[in-house]
Amino acid sequence: MRSKRRFLFLTFEGVTYSSPEETEPDVENLQVLGYAEGKNKEEAFENFLKENKWILETSFSEVICIEVKERISEGKTFYIER
């Protein structure tokens, strides 16, 4: 039996502000919606929707799925020096 794989769900929809002082969205990026596990992308997306029912109440209509090879907590943190 194949183990569960981890997937991250993102969208290009939505807006982002770089700071609270901004009055207009000023960052073009992806919105991270969440993550889920499954044996494949389809199963993981079904699990994502079951675990995040709030997403059905939003206007998001297109979601991108990518497989994550390591847990987020295992990722490397980088800092922007100014």
CB 66 within 8 A of CB 7: yes
Q: What is the pLDDT of residue 2?
A: 62
pTM: 0.75
Q: What is the pLDDT of residue 51?
A: 96
Q: From start to end of the chain, where are the E strands? A: 5-11, 31-38, 64-68
| Structure confidence at residue 29 (pLDDT) | 80
Largest CA distance in the chain: 52
pLDDT at 21: 81
Give SS3 for 24.
Answer: coil
Neighbours of 4 (CB within 10 A): 14
Q: Which residues of the chain have pLDDT under 50?
A: none
CA nearest 40: which of 2, 71, 72, 69? 2
* Residue 37 confidence (pLDDT): 95
Model confidence pLDDT, tens digit, residues 24-38: 777 778 889 999 999
